[in-house]
Chain A
Amino acid sequence: MKYITEFRQKDVSANLARAIAQEVQPDRTYRIMEFCGGHTHAIFRYGVQDLMPANFEFIHGPGCPVCVLPIRRLDDAIELAENHDVILCSYGDMMRVPGTKQNSLLKAKARGADVRMVYSTLDALKIAADNPTKQVVFFAIGFETTTPPTAVAVKKAKEAGLSNFSVFSNHVLTPAAVGAILDTPGTPDEPPVELDGFLGPSHVSTIIGTRPYEAAAQTYKKPVVITGFEPLDVMMAALMIVRQINEGRHEVENQYTRVVTADGNKKAQALVAEVFELRDSFEWRGLGQIPNSALKLRDSFADFDAEKRFDIAPKQSREVKSCECPAILRGTKGPLDCKLFGKTCTPETPYGSCMVSSEGACAAYYSYGRFRADQSEGKVA
């Protein structure tokens, strides 16, 4: 597969690993947060951590949109599906995520709600066109990567006069989350995460470009290297970030130049800006309320805003008490610190979003079997 196979070559990874091992300074540690769940999975699937020197540690970040959606918003979506006589369209990732009391969209569907899994916003539009007597709600989640397709759908619905289509927007912004992680003060029980730098988002950056990270890099004096989801991309970025740290630099560098530019995709940005505007604040699971970190539909598209079209009841949403997803998303704990991990909480019977999503850190640990080796050695990865 062009642009995939070349970036998984074993001999090149061995060379990169050797270069990293030679360049790390033995008297310090390198604690690097990979922002995206896609990076976390590449690191585990291809054993990248095992190729790194002992003093280079990957800290898993919150870049899993399914994981950071607060339970209340998922409960709202389940309510929309069950109590408002709608067809609720959702990406497959959300279907099994547990809400309050282990409820989920899949369970709502089993109880008779019309919940449909879609691959694309265009599928949701077609469902609306094919069912003119039903209200069709698209459960929009995701970072900047996934927002432009929602914007296109909203614009198309308006142009086509699809008055039975609306969007429940939960789109969130990554640069805001980077700042929030570094601003989290910590508690006596949970000290703040100590980081030396970030591997920056891959496909988010194809849309927004590299510039939006510059403020965080300068403010917090942390290097950021934007990188792809293939193992060689992650390793080259690791080498670049080691060099920045060794040289005392904190710049935004771009390893993923084959699809990421400084300016990003301006056509997609313009579409998003036309349809969406900033929310004053939005709750992130694990990170709490973050100002200016999410998007809602502009007033000119209010007719397509599910939050305005439906009267969604306020509710008391609750996390599973012993689930460590929130701390794992902050980077202060790892999956093996959770009592539920691999015992009551597995991909088949998930208690938290981090075990459900294909980008969740718990799912990565579980799927690629690293936790078994780590447990047999009696250490925590």
Chain B
Amino acid sequence: MCLALPAKIVALEGEDMAVVALEGVKKSVSIALIEDTQVGDYVLVHVGYALHKVSEEEAERTLAIMAEAGVLTEEVRESLGEAS
């Protein structure tokens, strides 16, 4: 019920609607809940509505933190003299 997928906006239509593409599938969704929508934006799609834009900057930051968590762990392991 709360499941939603990130999809790319490929065209804007009239009346608060836009076409999104995900893995080659295109679908018309409502953009009535979001603002300043541009072609190329990624949006989170749920029951035919875009709920929120996806922030590329924040996604990259999160991935970097995740990678760093592992790297820090490697450093700790090395400092303990364990083989990685």
Residues of A within 8 A of B (CB): 1-4, 6-7, 11-12, 14-16, 18-19, 22, 36-38, 63-66, 91, 93, 119-123, 141-143, 145-146, 148-149, 152, 201-204, 206-207, 229, 232-233, 236, 239, 255, 257-260, 265, 267-268, 271, 357-359
Contact = CB atoms under 8 A, between A and B. Distances in A.
Contact of A146 (B2, B32, B62, B77): B2
Contact of B54 (A16, A119, A259): A259
User: B22, B59, B69, B76 — which one has the most chain A CB atoms within 10 A of its CB?
Assistant: B69
A146 B34 contact: no
Interface string B18-50: 000011000000101111000000101011110
16 contacts: A1-B6, A6-B63, A7-B63, A15-B74, A18-B77, A19-B70, A37-B1, A120-B47, A122-B30, A123-B48, A149-B46, A152-B30, A257-B55, A260-B52, A267-B34, A358-B3
The 8 closest A-B pairs by CB, nearest first: A15-B70, A120-B48, A3-B6, A258-B59, A257-B58, A206-B52, A258-B58, A65-B1
Contacts of A206: 4, 44, 51-52
B65 interface: yes
Contacts of B22: 1
Interface residues of B, number: 42
Contacts of B76: 22
Contacts of B67: 12, 15
B37 to A, nearest CB: 11
Given A229-B3, A257-B55, 12 more contacts: A22-B76, A38-B2, A93-B1, A119-B48, A148-B51, A149-B30, A149-B47, A203-B46, A259-B51, A260-B52, A265-B34, A268-B51
A201 to B, nearest CB: 7
A119 B30 CA distance: 12
Contacts of A143: 1-2
Given A15-B69, A359-B2, A146 B35 contact: no
A359 B47 contact: no
B72 interface: yes
Nearest to B32: A152
B59 A3 contact: yes
Contact of A121 (B5, B48, B56, B58): B48
A352 to B, nearest CB: 16
Given A119-B47, A148-B49, A203-B44, A359 B3 contact: yes
Contact of B42 (A2, A22, A359): A2
Q: Which of B22, B42, B58 has the most CB of A within 10 A?
A: B58
Contacts of B52: 206-207, 259-260, 265
B66 interface: yes
A203 B2 contact: yes
A145 B32 CA distance: 14
Contacts of A18: 70, 73, 77
A203 B70 contact: no
